């Protein structure tokens, strides 16, 4: 690219979306044409290229240092900071419906590279908690009997750390839980899908979820899976308080203002029953 710009005076044109920062604002790339032209004139009599055995193209991939190999040149990577236990403590919330379905997740936790300093297991009122959770993992495991429907676990889980994540008993923790944070400010980097027709709106459940989110934020344009989200506990608390005020303690009023749609769909709207 430098050689083409310097010798042919051709500046590459990038797609508009590539020219946006993380806030969606336009960025301006520095004009390096004079410098590349100078280099081309200086080295045109010699071979200006250095040949190396390994060049890796990550193509705009988000990475943390653990992901990098012995590449000589790394192109396209956006490097973030890994989780730092001295800065952020994280709880894992596990939704459970039947006795001991979370056994595999909990018993394999110590063999995984994860950031969790505590696990909360959300149990139905009728299911007894194990009395030997401390035998399953060195991570403290705390059972909590839910007082409402399971779709309220996101709001009802008692969290003592600044952040938490949520999953259910039918999953297990990945071998490496590679959370990413912005360098310096250490803000979580959260994966999302744009709320557009091909990725979301052609699916009724996703479309309904975004419509509900836009009640809080009319400009909302992203979809984040519950299991991918790193929740800030204090923000969760404020959100859930407002969500319950608007929709009822268990979401019983979530669709009350859409009676015409309920009638048209036989009393059922394809969408979430609780906060998401």
At residue 222, the pLDDT reads 94
Instruction: Map out the domains of the chain as residue ranges.
Output: 2-80, 81-190+229-276
The model's confidence at residue 266, banded by pLDDT at 50, 70 and 90, is low
Reported as a pLDDT band with limits 50, 70 and 90, residue 196 is very high
Residue 234, pLDDT > 90, answer: yes
pLDDT of 164-195, one tens digit each?
999 999 999 999 999 999 998 999 999 999 99
What separation in angstroms does the CA of 150 have from each of 105, 157, 196? 19, 10, 29
pLDDT at 3: 79
CB pairs under 8 A, 24+ apart, for 59-64? 60/18, 62/180, 62/189, 64/178, 64/180
Q: Which residue has the higher pLDDT, 51 or 80?
A: 80
Q: What is the pLDDT of residue 20?
A: 74
Average pLDDT, the chain: 88
Residue 268 vs residue 230, higher pLDDT: 230
Q: How far is CA 69 from CA 41, 77, 132, in A?
A: 35, 12, 41
pLDDT bucket at 21, cuts 50 / 70 / 90: confident
Instruction: Give the whole-angstrom CA distance, residue 66 versus residue 120.
Output: 28
Q: pLDDT confidence of 44, banded at 50, 70, 90? A: confident
Q: Does the pLDDT at position 271 exceed 90?
A: no
Averaged pLDDT for residues 201-223: 93
How confident is the model at residue 202, as a pLDDT? Answer: 94
How far is 12 from 19, CA to CA, in rounded Å? 12
Q: What is the pTM of this model?
A: 0.78
Going by pLDDT thresholds of 50, 70 and 90, the confidence category of residue 102 is: very high
User: Residue 149: what pLDDT?
Assistant: 94
How far apart (Å, rounded) are the C-alpha atoms in residues 88 and 180? 12
């Amino acid at each position: 690219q430098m050689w083409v710009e310097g010798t042919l005076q051709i500046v590459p044109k990038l797609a508009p979306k590539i020219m946006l920062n993380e806030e969606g604002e336009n960025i301006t790339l520095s004009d390096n044409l004079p410098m590349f032209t100078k280099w081309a004139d200086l080295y045109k009599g010699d071979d200006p290229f250095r040949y190396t055995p390994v060049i890796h193209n990550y193509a705009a991939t988000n990475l943390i240092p653990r992901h990098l190999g012995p590449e000589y040149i790394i192109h396209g990577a956006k490097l973030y900071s890994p989780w730092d236990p001295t800065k952020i403590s994280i709880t894992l919330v596990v939704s459970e419906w039947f006795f001991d379905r979370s056994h595999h997740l909990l018993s394999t936790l110590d063999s995984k590279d994860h950031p969790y300093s505590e696990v909360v297991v959300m149990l139905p009122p009728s299911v007894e908690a194990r009395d030997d959770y401390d035998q399953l993992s060195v991570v403290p495991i705390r059972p909590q009997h839910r007082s409402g429907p399971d779709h309220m676990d996101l709001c009802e889980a008692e969290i003592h750390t600044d952040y938490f994540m949520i999953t259910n008993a039918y999953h297990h923790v990945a071998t490496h839980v590679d959370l990413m944070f912005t360098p310096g400010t250490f803000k979580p980097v959260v994966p999302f899908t744009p709320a557009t027709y091909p990725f979301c709106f052609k699916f009724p459940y996703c479309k309904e979820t975004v419509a509900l989110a836009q009640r809080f934020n009319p400009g909302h344009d992203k979809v984040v899976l519950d299991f991918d989200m790193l929740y800030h506990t204090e923000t969760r608390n404020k959100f859930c308080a407002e969500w319950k005020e608007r929709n009822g303690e268990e979401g019983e009023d979530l669709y009350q203002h859409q009676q015409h749609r309920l009638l048209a769909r036989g009393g059922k709207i394809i969408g979430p029953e609780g906060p998401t």
